Every structure is written in C-alpha cells, then in structure tokens.
C-alpha cells in the first residue's frame, strides 16, 4: 500500500514567477528610464540574473556569462549600477559575501533566510521594519536603507534522514 499523498510538498508554496524574457525587458526599460545605455554586458548580466532566480555571489554571475564573457570589474560595475537603479538587490551571507538577485517586477521588500550548512537561501516576505523607517523619516533622516538577514539551519540540513532530496516512492511492480 502507498501511504497518503504528502501535502507538504516543497513546491506547494511556489508563486507564479515572471518569465526570464519579461525580466530582461523590465531591466532594459529601467536602464533606459534612468539614462543608462543598454550594453551587451548589461544584457548578458540581466539574462544570467533572470535565469539564476536566486541570490548569487558575483563570481557565480561572472561564470554564468559564457555567451558574452567580460571581466570581473565590468560585472562589478554593472551590478553597482543595477543596484543604484533598483534592478538588483544585494544581500549578505553571514561571512560577509555579497549576493545579488533581481528586484524587478516585485516591489515588495523581502529578506532572506540563509542556511549556515548548505548555503541555501529562501525569501522571507515579512517586513516589520517599515514602521521604523517611517519614524526615522519623521525625525528628518533621508535616503534611508536597512539590512536584515536571517541565518539558521534549514529543515533539510536538520533532518536526521538527510540522505537524499525528497522523492516520490514508486512501488516496484512489473509493467503489465
Ligand atoms: Zn541547509
């Protein structure tokens, strides 16, 4: 007998995401609006960010640029421009490494929980600090930003049966 279908499937909570093409389009639009030229390295970087769909370190983005390779300094400058105009959001690992991800098509602020063991990251869509920003604005502070990251051990790493990713059991029946 097969046990009841598992309801805690890891993909159960996945939101419908924008397509990579629409993200690249949105990134180019943002560059145009803010007076930046649309160059080959910038498009290549947008493509890489859209495909990776998660916060990644600069070295990984650099390696991803196989079609239009460019040097690390160019990648760094592009990312810095992207960050200024709100195309990417930067977050940090507990060792201080910067991670970059697209922040297009999603205006809501979010944080990350980073697993200390496997380095996996997940979004945390809860932003209780907005009230603090408002209060600081009322005190006269401008150009506010803040940094909140969470670190922990993910359920997969904490599980004693951490031998493999969850799989659906298929009964060993001969094909009829
Ligand atoms: Zn983990």
Cα of 158 from ligand 1 centre, angstroms: 7
Cα of 121 from ligand 1 centre, angstroms: 8
Q: pLDDT band for 17, please (50, 70, 90 cuts).
A: low
Cα of 20 from ligand 1 centre, angstroms: 26
pLDDT tens figures, 81-94: 998 888 888 877 77
Q: Residues with beta carbon < 5 A to ion ligand 1?
A: 115, 117-118, 120, 154, 157
Cα of 13 from ligand 1 centre, angstroms: 18
What domains are there in the chain, each with its CATH number? Answer: 20-105 (1.10.10.10), 108-156 (3.30.1490.190)
* Alpha-carbon gap, residue 58 to 100, rounded angstroms: 7
Cα of 14 from ligand 1 centre, angstroms: 18
Cα of 59 from ligand 1 centre, angstroms: 21
Cα of 120 from ligand 1 centre, angstroms: 6
pLDDT tens figures, 109-118: 677 888 989 8
For residue 43, what pLDDT is reported? 93
Q: Model-level pTM?
A: 0.61
For residue 13, what pLDDT is reported? 41
């Amino acid at each position: 007998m097969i046990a009841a279908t598992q309801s805690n499937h890891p993909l159960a909570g996945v939101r419908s995401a924008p397509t990579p093409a629409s993200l690249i389009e949105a990134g180019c639009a943002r560059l145009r609006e803010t007076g930046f030229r649309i160059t080959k390295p910038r498009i290549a970087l947008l493509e890489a960010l859209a495909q990776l769909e998660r916060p990644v370190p600069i070295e990984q983005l650099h390696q991803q640029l196989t079609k239009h390779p460019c040097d690390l300094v160019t990648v760094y400058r592009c990312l810095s421009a992207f960050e200024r105009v709100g195309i990417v959001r930067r977050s940090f690992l507990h060792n201080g490494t910067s991670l970059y991800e697209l922040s297009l098509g999603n205006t809501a602020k979010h944080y990350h929980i980073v697993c200390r063991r496997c380095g996996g990251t997940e979004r945390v869509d809860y932003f209780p600090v907005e009230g603090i920003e408002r209060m600081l604005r009322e005190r006269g502070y401008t150009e506010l930003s803040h940094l909140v990251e969470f670190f922990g051990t993910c359920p997969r790493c904490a599980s004693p049966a951490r031998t493999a990713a969850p799989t659906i059991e298929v009964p060993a029946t001969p094909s009829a």
